[in-house]
Chain A
Amino acid sequence: MTVSMVKALNDGLRQALSDDPQVLLMGEDIGRLGGVFRVTDGLRKDFGELRVVDTPLGEAGIVGAAIGLAMRGYRPVCEIQFDGFVYPAVNQIVTQLAKLRHRSAGRISLPVVIRIPYGGGIGSIEHHSESPETYFAHTAGLKVVTCATPHDAFHMIQQAVAEDDPVVFLEPKRHYWTKGEVDPASALPLERAVVRRAGTDVTLIAYGPTVPVALEAADVAAQEGRSVEVVDLRSLSPWDVTTVRASVHRTGRAVVVHEAALSHGFGAEVAARLQDEEFHFLEAPVVRVTGYDTPYPPSRLESDWLPGVDRVLNAIDRSLSY
């Protein structure tokens, strides 16, 4: 079936609610309204207001309450309305949610999912266009995943709900309305990266909102006679270094693309691991194409600020000319 990412997430959450009576959804405007992006549309009507809960406007309270519910055996799925709204909840996420398993020597499991629409490209401003992934990927005890297709959205949200560890589930909001094929019978493991396009000259490593950018750049590069492989990481913590290493083994070159700022971004982790473990196979330094080390810009500037196809192609040129 062909559906939008929003519909795929809605279907996945519906399936999770049907499969396990301990699953419940909570967040701002997710019940009566169905969420500002309509990801939870219709779920309160079908599962009731005790399982699809409209919360007060307080992210720390949402995550704090979810931690308590998880300690009592529930599997809460929290919606943070926009990426930049998660910051009031960071204390709960980092000091409690991520740490309680370790602090209790394994006695307490917190199977909480925190859904966050993230990234730019929708003509909005700071707090509504941010990429906070490395705050969470840097925190031991959390899993951090991000979908790039409706198929992955449908399966990964269900897999995240079934996890016994807390999962930060990042949804690339600018692709919410992009449609794609969903095969309900076929799912990759949650933590596995996938080669979206095979190639031999250079590996483009992307995740979430930059996967379509990388694929488009690969198309253009192919017209110029360059064979570009595209790897979709899907999971940032843990991340599938094996698949990335295998790809770089084949191509000898790597370009990492993400919207988050350059310095201390996930691309730095990828570059460090590749030089550490694949140094003798690299034909060129790992190149990063990212947002800049600034707050998110006004919407009229975002198309230049975000890593677009031309900047990715320039990076491919740079790698191949080394």
Chain B
Amino acid sequence: MTDEYFTDLEARERDLAEQLRAGCRALADPDASSPFEHTYARMPADLSQQLRRHMEFVSTGLQDGERK
């Protein structure tokens, strides 16, 4: 293993990391309801109620800290 090998390896590692970060940043935001999905095979009534309330809040369009 030569110094050149490790220099090249580090450069490829940086490129790959940058590609991954850029790919993640480019992804659309997940839907606000998605954390509630796939918790159970069938969503229990209580969790449906929590989802409904959460989506009502989200639909107000308030951003965190906006009412301070």
Please list the residues of chain A having a beta carbon within 8 angstroms of any beta carbon in chain B. Answer: 101-102, 104-106, 109, 140-141, 143, 163-165, 191, 238-239, 241-242
Per the 8 Å Cβ criterion, residues 34-54 of B in contact with A are 37-41, 44-47
Q: Which residues of A contact B39 (CB under 8 A)?
A: 101-102, 140-141
With A109-B41, A141-B39 given, name 19 new contacts (CB 8 A).
Answer: A101-B38, A102-B39, A104-B38, A105-B37, A105-B38, A106-B38, A140-B39, A143-B40, A163-B41, A164-B41, A165-B40, A165-B41, A191-B44, A238-B44, A238-B45, A238-B47, A239-B46, A241-B46, A242-B45
Q: Which residues of B contact A241 (CB under 8 A)?
A: 46
Residue of A nearest to B44 (CB): A238
In whole angstroms, how far apart are the Cα atoms of A143 and B45 in the complex? 13
> Which one of B37, B38, B46 contacts A238 once the chains associate, using CB atoms below 8 Å?
B46
On chain B, which size bracket covers the interface?
under 10
- Least Cβ distance of A73 to chain B in Å? 15
Residue of B nearest to A239 (CB): B46
Q: Are A106 and B37 in contact (CB under 8 A)?
A: yes
> Which one of A102, A143, A242 contacts B38 once the chains associate, using CB atoms below 8 Å?
A102
Q: Are B46 and A141 in contact (CB under 8 A)?
A: no
Q: Which residues of A contact B46 (CB under 8 A)?
A: 238-239, 241
In whole angstroms, how far apart are the Cα atoms of A164 and B44 in the complex? 13
Q: Which residues of B contact A101 (CB under 8 A)?
A: 38-41
Residue of B nearest to A106 (CB): B38
Q: Which residues of B contact A140 (CB under 8 A)?
A: 39
In whole angstroms, how far apart are the Cα atoms of A101 and B37 in the complex? 9
Residue of B nearest to A238 (CB): B44
In whole angstroms, how far apart are the Cα atoms of A102 and B46 in the complex? 17
Q: Which residues of A contact B44 (CB under 8 A)?
A: 191, 238
Residue of B nearest to A102 (CB): B38
Q: Which residues of B contact A109 (CB under 8 A)?
A: 41
In whole angstroms, how far apart are the Cα atoms of A191 and B47 in the complex? 14
In whole angstroms, how far apart are the Cα atoms of A163 and B47 in the complex? 18
In whole angstroms, how far apart are the Cα atoms of A109 and B40 in the complex? 9
- Least Cβ distance of A13 to chain B in Å? 22
Q: Which residues of B contact A141 (CB under 8 A)?
A: 39-40
Q: Which residues of A contact B37 (CB under 8 A)?
A: 102, 105-106
Q: Mark B7-48, 1 if CB is under 8 A from A, else 0.
A: 000000000000000000000000000000111110011110
- Least Cβ distance of B5 to chain A in Å? 37
In whole angstroms, how far apart are the Cα atoms of A101 and B38 in the complex? 6
In whole angstroms, how far apart are the Cα atoms of A97 and B64 in the complex? 33
* A–B pairs, 14, beta carbons within 8 Å: A101-B38, A101-B39, A102-B37, A102-B38, A104-B38, A109-B41, A140-B39, A141-B40, A165-B41, A191-B44, A238-B44, A238-B45, A238-B47, A239-B46
